[in-house]
Chain A
Amino acid sequence: MPDSKLIEIIQAGPLVTVQDLGRYGSRHQGVSRAGALDGLSLRIANRLVGNADDAAGLEMLFGNTRIRFLKEIWFALAGCECFATLNGKPVHLGWTKRARAGDELFINMPRNGLCAYLAFDGGIVVPVLMSSRATDVQGGFGGWQGRKLQNGDLLPIGKKNPKQLKTRGVLLPVLNQVVRVLAGPEAEQFEPSVQDAFFSQGWKITADSNRMGFRLEGDTLHRRESGDLLSHGVFPGTIQVPPNGQPIILAAEAQATGGYPRIASVIQSDLWKLGQLRPGAFVHFEKVSLTEAVQAKQQQQLYLTRISLALSAKT
């Protein structure tokens, strides 16, 4: 592909990685899903620039990232509430924007939330490994050379889509700290009063959280039963309670199997919120039923469909 190297990382923030919607079908080999912590924002950004939902973009934790475009290209930014500029002029979240060769985009530290997502018309075309372009930071594979991005990295962007893009915007989902969960398989191993404590308090996100999991700090959750569980499958969104009684929400890069009791599980349509839980913030859990979880997913699908309809409307 001629002129394939199209963007340059001038200043990489604390954790900038190439991500898509993650790796499926390899968990039996111990491989994590990886992919965007906030997959919804990446999806929206991709739709804005006319990409397929699973095209690879950039995930930036804590902003502080500067990118230079080496060729004209459309892009869209979504995710955390952050201030961004293109050659010093503000760039709005949830809008398509055209950058010209030489333009510089700066994504500032977020005011609220954690992860910002940048999608480029054509997507980042790193090799597909185990059916995904996602970076597995722990595993050291996938994405761009299996690692977080550094200053000077040059990333190849795929072929522009043939559609003519225009400056357009969509209403982004509102960040909030309430995450809906289903009762976990071992919820009953906690006294009802302990289960209540889980739902009634705000849990602080600790600083040692990472793409594997978000560690929470709050009142200790005592388990009624002791004894180890047999290792079982776990997923992003599974909330484990290790013996110290401080829960962990497994995130995108969670290991495939675990052995701690699972008090709850984040519903699929709220998984995106995990990407916006920053250290020091508080998260609250709201219990929902299986039916409500399925309905929530359908509502999210409807929202995404509306976005696509709005973007394809002629004006």
Chain B
Amino acid sequence: MKKESVQIYWVNEQAITIQAPAPVSLEQQQRMWALGASFQARDGITEIVPGMNNLTLAFDESRVDGECLMHELQQGWCTINVSAQSGRLVEIPVRYGGEWGPDLADIAAHTGLNVDEIIRIHSEAEYTVFFIGFQPGFAYLGGMPVELTTPRRSSPRQAVPAGSVAIGGAQTGIYPKTSPGGWQILGHTDVVLFDPSRDEPSLWMPGDRVKFVVTEVAHA
């Protein structure tokens, strides 16, 4: 990997992003997490936000010099020790199909797979939390098998129920709370992804591994 080809830029006067070249890879993502973690205890750093192949640091500009930080990010990217340790394994029990997965038939029609194959492929894969965004606790997961790729619905739903397990393009994810959305729903989980009263409100962190566990399958 060409470590020197990263881009580092200002987002505003108190935030800087380091962006690795495409394509997105778990290896680059791990490097971003390690880099972010190395700034965890740093005075004046206010936010450490991993994105897709990138990492954004926000800081108090009266305590941190942005130019120096850019330099440090560049250096860190090349030298950081990415340990092989993997994140926790988070298991998500899912009820697939029927009223829990109203779009399973559409996914089948698009992918050419039958419902049982879709459920098997979706639940056998191991995913990695790349980053959390969009909503509190919403994880962008890496690792969805490409054969499950299904475009978003042509017209989004007004209210996708909290806990809906869905596919949007080449990604899969879970809606932490009821909200409008256009992803294709294939199942449901009762796991609470985000609870502000918990010590760690988000169920998962970037780097965690995720398995969907089939608890029930309803055939339409």
> Are A231 and B140 in touch, CB under 8 angstroms?
yes
> Are A233 and B196 in touch, CB under 8 angstroms?
no
With both beta carbons as reference points, the residue of chain B lying nearest to A301 in the complex is identified as: B62
> Are B133 and A30 in touch, CB under 8 angstroms?
yes
The size of the chain B interface, using a CB distance under 8 A, is: 44
Contact of A29 among B11, B46, B137 (CB under 8 A): B137
The size of the chain A interface, using a CB distance under 8 A, is: 42
Contact of B138 among A30, A142, A237 (CB under 8 A): A30
Question: CA–CA, A23 to B194, complex, Å?
Answer: 16
Q: Taking the complex as formed, is A26 at the interface, i.e. its CB lies under 8 A from any CB of chain B?
A: yes
Question: CA–CA, A111 to B141, complex, Å?
Answer: 48
Of the stretches A53-61, A152-160, A261-269, the one at the interface is A261-269
With both beta carbons as reference points, the residue of chain B lying nearest to A232 in the complex is identified as: B51
Contact of A30 among B48, B61, B202 (CB under 8 A): B202
> Are B201 and A130 in touch, CB under 8 angstroms?
yes
Question: CA–CA, A185 to B56, complex, Å?
Answer: 12
> Are A257 and B133 in touch, CB under 8 angstroms?
yes
Min Cβ gap B174→A in Å is 12
Q: A129-B196, A294-B61 are in contact. Are A27 and B12 (CB under 8 A)?
A: no
Q: A27-B49, A129-B196 are in contact. Are A255 and B13 (CB under 8 A)?
A: no
Most buried by A among B48, B51, B61, B176: B51
Q: Taking the complex as formed, is B24 at the interface, i.e. its CB lies under 8 A from any CB of chain A?
A: yes
Give per-residue flags for A9-30: 1 if the beta carbon is below 8 A from chain B beta carbons, else 0.
0000000000000001111111
Q: A230-B51, A231-B133 are in contact. Are A31 and B46 (CB under 8 A)?
A: no
Q: A235-B11, A235-B58 are in contact. Are A29 and B17 (CB under 8 A)?
A: no
Give per-residue flags for B173-195: 1 if the beta carbon is below 8 A from chain A beta carbons, else 0.
00011000000000000000010
Contact of B12 among A24, A257, A265 (CB under 8 A): A265
Q: Taking the complex as formed, is A280 at the interface, i.e. its CB lies under 8 A from any CB of chain B?
A: no
> Are B47 and A255 in touch, CB under 8 angstroms?
no
Question: CA–CA, A258 to B51, complex, Å?
Answer: 9
> Are A290 and B196 in touch, CB under 8 angstroms?
no
Q: Taking the complex as formed, is B210 at the interface, i.e. its CB lies under 8 A from any CB of chain A?
A: no
Q: Taking the complex as formed, is B15 at the interface, i.e. its CB lies under 8 A from any CB of chain A?
A: yes
Give per-residue flags for B198-216: 1 if the beta carbon is below 8 A from chain A beta carbons, else 0.
0011100110000000000
Q: A residues near B, CB below 8 A?
A: 24-32, 129-130, 136, 138-142, 146, 182, 184-185, 230-235, 237-238, 255-258, 262, 265-268, 290, 293-294, 297
